Amino acid sequence: MAFALDHVQIAIPPGSETEARAFYGALLGLRELDRPASLTGRSGCWYDLGLHQLHLGADADFHPARKAHVALTTDDLATLRGRLGDAGCPIGEDVPIPGRTRFFTEDPFGNRLELIQLD
């Protein structure tokens, strides 16, 4: 039996799709996906990550993920760091990991995100 990652879902507050799209789509530059017709009418947004997807799902009992997080790789971490900083997003450093340059930020809802560029 083999496993592979298909998608990761993180919670957002109900009714916050516009703010989510501004952050994940416009600011980070992720491409939004159309959800299957069978899920029409449900809250949230889906984003393309190449072989994987990031799903944002509305949760009536929302609490931000402050420790658990999604780690996204990019080929231009410096530009992304500048864009996030200019937008007033928090930038946090952590213990260096060989072969990776990285920092942490938060989405508008307080969910922790790690952004990585492989060296």
DSSP per-residue letters across 47-69: EEETTEEEEEEE-TT----SSS-
Delimit the domains of the chain by residue range: 8-118
- What single-letter DSSP state applies at residue 110? S
Q: Which fold has domain 8-118?
A: 2,3-Dihydroxybiphenyl 1,2-Dioxygenase; domain 1 (3.10.180)
Q: What angle do CA 79, 13, 102 make, to 5 degrees?
A: 25
pTM passes above 0.75: yes
What residues form DSSP beta bridges with 31?
Answer: 48
- One digit per residue, the tens of pLDDT, for the chain of length 119 reads 999 999 999 999 999 999 999 999 999 999 999 988 898 888 899 999 999 999 999 999 999 999 999 999 999 999 999 999 999 999 999 899 999 999 999 999 999 999 999 99
